Chain A
Amino acid sequence: MSEYILQLKNISKYFFGVPALKNINLELRKGKMLGLIGENGAGKSTMMNIIGGVIKADEGSMVLKGEEYQPDGPGEATDAGITFIHQELNLFTNLSIEENIYISSFPTIGRLPVISKGAIRTKTRELLDSIDLKLSPDILVEKLSPGERQLVEIAKALSSKPDIIIFDEPTTSLTARETKKLFELINKLRDQGISMIYISHILDDVLNLVDDIVVLKDGEVTDKGAKQDFSIQRMVSSMVGRDLEQMYPERTSKPSNEVVLEVSNLSQSGTIHDVSFKLHKGEILGVFGLMGSGRTEMARIIFGLDPYESGEIAVDGKKITKSSPQNSIRNRIAFVTENRREEGLLMHSTILDNIQLVSLREYAKTILKIVDSKKVTESIKDVVKMLKVKSGPVEKTAPKSLSGGNQQKVVIGKWVMAKPKIFMVDEPTRGIDVGAKYEVYTILNQFASEGSGVLIISSEIEELIGVCDRILVMSKGEIVGEFSASEFDKERIVGSAFRQNVRC
Chain B
Amino acid sequence: MSARKNPMDTKLQENPEKRMFRIPDLRQGIKRIMVSEYFVLYLSILWFIVMLPVIPNIASSRNLNNIFDFIWPLLAVCVGQTLVLLIAGIDLSQISVIGMTSVIGALFMSNRIDPNVLSDSPLWGTVISENGGIMANSMWAVPVGILMMLLVGSLIGLINGYFIAKLKMPPFMVTLVTQLFVYNLAIFLTKSNNIIGIPKAFTEIGKGKIGFIPVAMIITIVLCVLSQLLLSKTVLGKWIYAVGSNVKASVVSGVPRDGVIMFVYAFSGFCAAFASVIYSGRLEMGRPTLGQTLLMDIVGATIIGGTSMFGGKGKVLWTFFGVLFFVLLTNVLNLFNLDTFTINIVKGLIILLAALFDVIRTKIQANDTKVEKAGA
Contact = CB atoms under 8 A, between A and B. Distances in A.
Contacts of B242: 346, 349, 353, 357
A298 to B, nearest CB: 15
A370 B8 CA distance: 47
B235 A364 contact: yes
Contacts of B246: 342-343, 345-347
B238 A360 contact: yes
A410 to B, nearest CB: 11
Contacts, number: 111
Interface stretch (A13-21, A77-85, A98-106, A466-474): A13-21
A455 to B, nearest CB: 16
A370 B369 contact: no
B254 A325 contact: yes
A41 interface: yes
B371 interface: yes
Contacts of B245: 346-349
B373 interface: yes
B50 to A, nearest CB: 34
Interface residues of A, number: 45
B255 A17 contact: no
Contact of B233 (A18, A370, A414): A370
Q: Tell me whether chain B's interface is mostly helix, strand or loop, or mixed.
A: helix
A107 to B, nearest CB: 32
A369 interface: yes
B374 interface: yes
Contacts of A17: 3-8
A18 B248 CA distance: 36
Contacts of B376: 18, 41, 390, 401
B274 interface: no
A361 B4 CA distance: 42
A398 B245 CA distance: 12
A369 B232 CA distance: 12
Nearest to A372: B233
A305 B313 contact: no
B234 A369 contact: yes
Interface string B246-258: 1011111111100
B6 A353 contact: no
Contact of A305 (B8, B235, B238, B251): B251
A356 B238 contact: yes
A265 interface: no
B18 to A, nearest CB: 16
B241 A353 contact: yes
B276 to A, nearest CB: 27
B235 to A, nearest CB: 4
B322 interface: no
A14 B7 contact: yes
B375 A325 contact: no
Contact of B6 (A14, A328, A390): A14
Give the 8 A-B CB pairs with smallest separation, nearest first. Answer: A15-B375, A17-B6, A346-B245, A16-B4, A329-B254, A401-B373, A18-B375, A369-B235
Given A14-B7, A58-B7, A349-B312, 13 more contacts: A17-B6, A17-B7, A20-B374, A20-B375, A325-B254, A328-B254, A329-B253, A329-B254, A344-B249, A344-B252, A346-B245, A356-B238, A357-B242
9 contacts: A16-B3, A305-B251, A325-B253, A329-B254, A335-B252, A353-B242, A361-B235, A392-B372, A398-B369
